[in-house]
A and B are shown apart, each in its own frame.
Chain A
Amino acid sequence: MSTLSQTAAGPVAGPASSFLSVRDLYVHFATEDGTVKAVDGLSFDLERGSTLGIVGESGSGKSVTNLAILGLHNPLNTKIQGEILLDGQELTGASERQLNRLRGKKMAMIFQDSLAALSPFYTVGRQIAEPFMKHTGASRREARARAVDMLRKVGIPQPDLRVDDYPHQFSGGMRQRAMIAMALVCDPDLVIADEPTTALDVTVQAQILDLLKDLQQETGAAIIIITHDLGVIAKTADQVMVMYAGRCVERGTVKEVMQRPQHPYSWGLLSSVPRLDSSVDTPLVPIPGAPPSLLSPPPGCPFHPRCGFTDLVAGGVCATTRPELPEGERRGSACHLTATQKEAVFIEQIHPRLR
């Protein structure tokens, strides 16, 4: 299965051995008003056993990217270009049959709203057992036993009884656990968690994130965690990718991005997070304005209308030329500011706000 389209993959920039490799991904939606460029030239890599955090505002293309990896966009109105290589297999051109065999088995997704993402009409056990039966050919009884196992693994008390419950009989946190069990029932190598804790209260949030980490250590799966919560990123991710208007504007390890962010948008994100240990009169600083329309993104740097540092760049380049991420580097940001300027602005203006 993994040799399917190895040859068609062509030359791959960056480490070709990556477990998941996304190259120049474009996802465009045809709408009545024009083409929405939801993802506009995105590249990243992910290794087995590691976790990539994707942060950004709503509409920055986080979820769209991951639905593209799973091939879940409606082909009638979506144009996907670029390469997605999962364990050497090309996914963008894969047939529905090939994708059906990969989804749930090799790659799985944990959705944000577990009440909406579980069908109200079938028992939790059946929904967990379903992909297991399909992908492993297990019998109904074996699959049910597996579902009970999975529920136990994700910490549902009395799993042999709860397996026959319907989703509405579960609490929010339990439902999220059941969702995780459903995603992991076939031991997938890639798990995409789309805001897995957004709908949960903080204590449950921490439990769910711990659970994900534990399961990752057990299976060695690669995880992509999508969130707008920087706390979640700090707790779980190894690598971070900050997305804005369908592009990656900054990437690096979690330490680098959280402690020495380089992009004005990342500064904005960090400054707008309330902190327990900051003094009460430190104001939160929101990012002014709203994310740009992806129908007609602004020329130049898509962030420049909201950026407070465009004056530092000579000749108004920000409004005319789009900054690119440094090619082939693991750490970098797409911004016209020079490295020294970024360093200086962060230390003088941003860092004090974060205390």
Chain B
Amino acid sequence: MFRFLVRRVLGAMVILLLISMITYFLFFALPSDPALLSCGKQCDPQNVALIRKNLGLNLPIWTQYWHYMVGIFAGRHMPVGDCPAPCFGYSFANQQPVWGTIADSYPTTLTLAVGGAATFLTIGVSLGLISAWRQGTVFDRIASATSLLGQSVQIYFIGPLAILLFSTKLGWLDRGHDVDWAHDAWGSVTGMILPCLVLSVIFWSNYSRQTRSLMVEQLSEDHIRAARAKGMSSRYVFLRYALRGAMATIITIFGVDLSAVLGGAIITEVTFGLHGLGLLSVQAVLRSDLPLEMAVMLIGATLIVVCNIVVDLAYAFIDPRIRLA
């Protein structure tokens, strides 16, 4: 187990290193000059040269990359100001420390991603379980039909519709706003309900269908019949044996979906006008703001890689055959 963990963590570090290199060097392959962009109105060659020097853009790319990576772990002194670890540099666009900007906006994204994932896992898996338990009933058919509907819509389509219906017309839910857990915890919860629901719609249908078919498959297994032959009740067998068997696969699918969840969170933020990492990354790309781009990219990638390791661990926890391998 320990060796497995070490191996996975080392692998994850290599992946993150590669991602950082690709992002960094790809940026410089683009035909844009950050110094010119941040130069503003009174732009003359001296100014550009000064900015270039201040931003460290006059150094070779490898050296810049090296400084950047060292800064993340050790902090660095920059001409614009002192930058303690974790230092992601200063934004080219507004000369603010990137870490501060990120720290302001990540709670919204994290809440949205975690809340959305919890929502679609709960709704999707429960729907699938009930469908499998009541195979062929009206509930089963309605759930299947709804699943198909959920799978064929997009966030930016149902988002505005949901705001119009549940917020503007019916007034049931908050139309969605940024979270502020420290000062307004309850408002953070209510403000996230609608965005989380909208984000979950495109996922939950997949989970209900997968759960249903996994459970149906599990229920036809020999060990289910053997457990029934021991006199265990059908409900017990359904939850303890069949669900246990289906769980491993559900978690695998969840692991694969993680990056889609983060992507979905970004689209949802833009749809609801929330100020999270999503909006930030769109702005960063539009303004050729390398430090911000790098930071969003690295943090997103780290999240996904870490979650994948957690999923693998969960997998081993569920299936003893993997635990010992």
Instruction: Please give the residue numbers on chain A whose beta carbons come within 8 Å of chain B beta carbons, in ascending order.
Output: 67, 70, 72, 76, 96, 100-105, 108-109, 111, 113, 116-121, 127, 130-131, 134-135, 166, 168-169, 179, 182-183
B contacts with A, residue count (CB < 8 A): 22
Contacts of B221 in A (CB 8 A): 116
**Given A166-B320, A166-B321, A168-B321; A118-B231 close (CB under 8 Å):** no
- Determine whether the beta carbon of A70 is less than 8 Å from that of B229: yes
- Determine whether the beta carbon of B318 is less than 8 Å from that of A121: yes
- Determine whether the beta carbon of A120 is less than 8 Å from that of B319: yes
What is the interface of chain A mostly: helix, strand, loop, or mixed?
A: helix
**Cross-chain pairs A/B with CB under 8 angstroms, 22 sampled:** A67-B225, A72-B225, A96-B234, A100-B232, A100-B233, A103-B228, A104-B232, A108-B230, A116-B222, A117-B222, A117-B223, A117-B226, A118-B223, A119-B226, A120-B319, A121-B241, A121-B245, A121-B319, A130-B230, A130-B232, A134-B231, A134-B232
B227 interface residue per 8 A CB criterion? yes
Contacts of B318 in A (CB 8 A): 121
B136 interface residue per 8 A CB criterion? yes
**Given A120-B320, A120-B321; A111-B231 close (CB under 8 Å):** no
Least distance between A218 CB and chain B CB atoms (Å): 20
Partner of B231, one of A105, A116, A121: A105
- Determine whether the beta carbon of B231 is less than 8 Å from that of A102: yes
Closest to A166 in B: B320
Scan B101-113; emit 1 where CB is below 8 A from any A CB, else 0. Answer: 0000000000000
Closest to A168 in B: B321
Contacts of A100 in B (CB 8 A): 231-233
- Determine whether the beta carbon of A119 is less than 8 Å from that of B228: no
B244 interface residue per 8 A CB criterion? yes
- Determine whether the beta carbon of B222 is less than 8 Å from that of A111: yes
- Determine whether the beta carbon of A113 is less than 8 Å from that of B228: no
Contacts of B136 in A (CB 8 A): 76
Partner of A121, one of B225, B230, B232, B244: B244
Partner of A109, one of B229, B232, B234, B241: B229
Closest to B247 in A: A121
What is the interface of chain B mostly: helix, strand, loop, or mixed?
A: helix
Top 6 A-B pairs ranked by shortest CB distance? A104-B231, A116-B222, A103-B231, A131-B230, A104-B230, A117-B226
- In addition to A118-B226, A119-B244, 6 A-B residue pairs with Cβ atoms within 8 Å of each other are A100-B232, A101-B231, A116-B223, A121-B319, A168-B320, A182-B230
Contacts of B324 in A (CB 8 A): 169
A179 to B245, CA, bound (A): 19
**Given A118-B223, A166-B320; A103-B245 close (CB under 8 Å):** no
A118 to B221, CA, bound (A): 10
User: Which residues of B from 215 to 274 have beta carbons under 8 Å from A?
Assistant: 221-223, 225-234, 241, 244-245
Contacts of A104 in B (CB 8 A): 229-232
Partner of A111, one of B226, B241, B244: B226
A101 to B227, CA, bound (A): 13
Contacts of A117 in B (CB 8 A): 222-223, 225-226
Closest to A101 in B: B231
Contacts of B232 in A (CB 8 A): 100, 104, 130-131, 134
User: Which residues of B from 68 to 120 have beta carbons under 8 Å from A?
Assistant: none
Least distance between A39 CB and chain B CB atoms (Å): 17
- Determine whether the beta carbon of B225 is less than 8 Å from that of A111: yes
Closest to A102 in B: B231
Contacts of A96 in B (CB 8 A): 233-234
Least distance between B227 CB and chain A CB atoms (Å): 7
A169 to B241, CA, bound (A): 19
**Given A76-B136, A166-B321, A168-B321; A119-B230 close (CB under 8 Å):** no
Least distance between A87 CB and chain B CB atoms (Å): 16
**Given A117-B223, A166-B321; A108-B244 close (CB under 8 Å):** no
- Determine whether the beta carbon of B321 is less than 8 Å from that of A103: no
A116 to B136, CA, bound (A): 27
Closest to B220 in A: A74
Contacts of A169 in B (CB 8 A): 324
Closest to A120 in B: B321
Closest to B233 in A: A100
- Determine whether the beta carbon of A121 is less than 8 Å from that of B320: yes
A127 to B226, CA, bound (A): 10
Contacts of B222 in A (CB 8 A): 111, 113, 116-117
- Determine whether the beta carbon of A72 is less than 8 Å from that of B228: yes
Contacts of A76 in B (CB 8 A): 136
A217 to B226, CA, bound (A): 24
A333 to B131, CA, bound (A): 48
Least distance between B228 CB and chain A CB atoms (Å): 6
